[in-house]
Amino acid sequence: MAGKVQQLTHQAERQAISVMLDGFLKHLKSKEDRTETYLKIVDLAEKFYGAGANKDTLNAVREYVKNPENRWMRFINRVVDETDHHYAKTMLLNLGYEAFFRGTKTIRENRKKYNCNIPWLILFDPTMACNLHCVGCWSGTYGHKSSLTFEEMDKIVTEGKELGAHLYMLTGGEPTVRMNDIFKLAEKHNDCFFGLYSNSTLINDEMAERVRQLGNITFMLSIEGTEETNDARRGSGHYEAAMKAMDILKKHGIVFGTSICYTRANVEAVTSDAFFHLLEEKGARFGFYFHLMPVGNNAVPELMPTVEQRKYMIDRIRYVRSPESNIEFFPMDFQNDGEYVGGCIAGGRNYFHINSNGDAEPCVFIHFSNTNIKNNTILEMLQSPLFMAYHEGQPFNRNQLRPCPMLENPQLLREMVQATGAHQTNLESPEDVDHLCAKCDDYAKEWAPVADEIWASETHKKPSYENYTQEKREHPELAAFEHADGSVRIDV
Ligand code: SF4
């Protein structure tokens, strides 16, 4: 009975917010009183956050929105102008109201209740089938045949939602190969938002129109610089397909982004002014940058960025996000932005990955597991040994430019995998943890002194939370918990 009442309250609240958003968006689209409308949205956010609202931050936002010439106001106004009304409303409802406001509250409660990580987003692979064969792509190492059934994908979302997760990202393989099932899933879970990492090749007008109508799907399109650097890795004709997909998504008023793997060979091409302006003009509004990881037996470690290139990435991405830049595109660097999210987000701390065989892995790059969606619930996955080792170990390094237990602290992944008995999950080409981590040892050693120098030269804001075992670290007797280099010893 209590559950039913709660459900009705939720539906009524969602409906009321939907009506308000309709009004806000109409005002914003008419370009009249935009500042006043933004201020009303901030007031609404404050109301929903309740006691959890950070007054200082909200007041700073209020000041910022008052000037339409501010860099990010120009950016937001452009997104408002270019986005379909229904799509924008559904995105705000599902990402803003469901995920940020309701979801975050539920997640925080469940972290305490279950004493484990509870994620904000779950990444899963509908299928490993892919029509491309990119150089250095680890996904092929799982084999191209495995797929999750619709029922398994539905189980992931249903159980994830109960824990508070309303954001799902889909990779693979090429997720659009399973577009009918994805549409079914997005329709059934119309209070969630789905982001597809896609190679673009199957996106067409019909697909984009259905996406617009549903309003709760976006795409992160793979693209790597110029036609030359892109097609060298992804195959001839891919660049053209990505450009065409962007035109289609823009035409249908869909907010979309990019997924960019930076390597020793393309780092300059994927961060040039010309490339950013091209993405901007094509309608891409945000981009995830991923450092090439030497995962899998067919990895190409020689393509990992050099120390100098990684330093350059830190400066370049931060510049593009700074008020000085005029690029209307928001890039995020998965490897260098650790400080904004408290270090490694994997193991369910903010996210985890379920591969197309159903194995739950702490991160899309960490192919080890003790648990599978065919036999376990999402909560059981989060409480499985390797995930609990992540929970106990995070943050893995005080220096959040060295966040990863594999890339920058490879000894830690060895320790965790050995201590938890997690098995490797690459079916076609098994790779043990020593083989994987050996490819990171030299990189980690070379990067450490440079990263430490950068970290020491900057001031850092304390993240709002790192994890829930943090209290332990604040006790001096636990100093022995750390290795001499600042990385954390894992006690499982
Ligand atoms: S395991 Fe490494 S790559 Fe994955 S989220 Fe953590 S720091 Fe990032």
Work out the burial of residue 361: count CB atoms within 10 Å of its CB; fewer than 13 is exposed, 13-18 middle, 19 or more buried: buried
Please report the pLDDT score of residue 459 as a whole number. Answer: 83
Closest C-alpha to ligand 1, atom 4 = 363
Q: Where are the beta strands (DSSP E) in 28-184?
A: 121-127, 167-172
Crossing angle (nearest 10°) for helices 410-420 and 433-457: 140
Q: Where are the beta strands (DSSP E) in 188-309?
A: 193-198, 217-222, 256-262, 284-291
Contact between 218 and 195 (Cβ < 8 Å): yes
The per-residue b/e assignment along 320-337, b for 16 or more CB within 10 angstroms, e otherwise, is: bbeeeeebbbbbbbbbbb
Distance CA 178, CA 168 (A): 15
Contact between 33 and 27 (Cβ < 8 Å): yes
Pocket test for ligand 1, best of 262, 349, 353, 365 (most atoms within 8 A of CB): 365
Ligand 1 centroid to Cα of residue 152, in Å, is 25
The tens-digit pLDDT sequence of the chain (492 residues) is: 666 667 778 889 999 999 999 999 999 988 888 999 999 989 988 887 777 778 888 999 999 999 989 999 999 999 999 999 999 999 999 999 999 989 999 999 999 999 999 999 999 999 988 776 666 565 555 555 789 999 999 999 999 999 999 999 999 889 999 999 999 999 999 999 999 999 999 999 999 999 999 999 999 999 988 888 888 877 788 899 999 999 999 999 999 999 999 999 999 999 999 999 999 999 999 999 999 999 999 899 999 999 999 999 999 999 999 999 999 999 999 999 998 888 999 999 999 999 999 999 999 999 999 999 999 999 999 999 999 999 999 999 989 999 999 999 999 999 999 999 999 998 778 999 999 999 999 999 999 999 999 999 988 776 555 554 554 454 443 344 456 566 665 544
Ligand 1 centroid to Cα of residue 349, in Å, is 11
Ligand 1 centroid to Cα of residue 402, in Å, is 10
Please report the pLDDT score of residue 330 as a whole number. Answer: 96
Distance CA 233, CA 215 (A): 32
Give the closest residue to 454 by CA, choosing from 292, 330, 268, 318: 318
Contact between 284 and 239 (Cβ < 8 Å): no
Pocket test for ligand 1, best of 352, 366, 440 (most atoms within 8 A of CB): 366
Given the CA of residue 343, which atom of ligand 1 is nearest to it?
7
Pocket test for ligand 1, best of 121, 344, 487 (most atoms within 8 A of CB): 344
Please report the pLDDT score of residue 137 as a whole number. Answer: 61
Distance CA 330, CA 318 (A): 10
Q: Which 3 state secondary structure label does DSSP give 222? A: strand
Please report the pLDDT score of residue 142 as a whole number. Answer: 52
At a CB cut-off of 8 Å and minimum separation 6, what does 9 contact?
Answer: none
Please report the pLDDT score of residue 483 as a whole number. Answer: 60
Please report the pLDDT score of residue 214 as a whole number. Answer: 98
Distance CA 202, CA 175 (A): 10
Given the CA of residue 407, which atom of ligand 1 is nearest to it?
2
Q: How many helices (H) and strands (E) does the chain have?
A: 18, 11
Please report the pLDDT score of residue 148 as a whole number. Answer: 96
Given the CA of residue 364, which atom of ligand 1 is nearest to it?
4
At a CB cut-off of 8 Å and minimum separation 6, what does 203 contact?
Answer: 176, 219, 244, 245, 248, 249
Backbone angles phi, psi at 234, to 5 degrees: -105, -10
Ligand 1, CB cutoff 6 Å, lining residues:
344-346, 363, 365-366, 403-406
Please report the pLDDT score of residue 443 as a whole number. Answer: 97
What is the number of alpha carbons within 13 Å of residue 223 lying toward its C-beta? 29
Ligand 1 centroid to Cα of residue 90, in Å, is 30
Pocket test for ligand 1, best of 407, 417, 447, 466 (most atoms within 8 A of CB): 407
Please report the pLDDT score of residue 492 as a whole number. Answer: 42
Given the CA of residue 351, which atom of ligand 1 is nearest to it?
5
Given the CA of residue 345, which atom of ligand 1 is nearest to it?
5
22's tokens: 């309709």
The per-residue b/e assignment along 268-278, b for 16 or more CB within 10 angstroms, e otherwise, is: ebbbeeebbeb
Backbone angles phi, psi at 361, to 5 degrees: -115, 145
Ligand 1 centroid to Cα of residue 403, in Å, is 7
Per-state percent for the chain, helix, strand, coil, to nearest 5:
50, 15, 35
169's tokens: 């990202």
Pocket test for ligand 1, best of 334, 369, 409, 490 (most atoms within 8 A of CB): 334
To the nearest 10°, report the CA torsion of 39, 41, 46, 49. -160
294's tokens: 């030497």
196's tokens: 């597809």
DSSP 94: I
Ligand 1 centroid to Cα of residue 458, in Å, is 22
DSSP 339: G
Closest C-alpha to ligand 1, atom 7 = 404
At a CB cut-off of 8 Å and minimum separation 6, what does 195 contact?
Answer: 167, 168, 169, 170, 217, 218, 219, 220
At a CB cut-off of 8 Å and minimum separation 6, what does 23 contact?
Answer: none
Given the CA of residue 293, which atom of ligand 1 is nearest to it?
3
At a CB cut-off of 8 Å and minimum separation 6, what does 302 contact?
Answer: 264
Separation in Å, CA 159 to CA 153, 163, 229, 483:
10, 7, 41, 37
Ligand 1 centroid to Cα of residue 417, in Å, is 15
Separation in Å, CA 391 to CA 62, 114, 415:
36, 12, 14
Ligand 1 centroid to Cα of residue 135, in Å, is 21
Q: Which 3 state secondary structure label does DSSP give 488? A: strand
φ/ψ bin of 14: left (φ > 0), alpha (ψ from -120 to 50), beta (otherwise)? alpha
Ligand 1 centroid to Cα of residue 461, in Å, is 20
Distance CA 383, CA 386 (A): 8
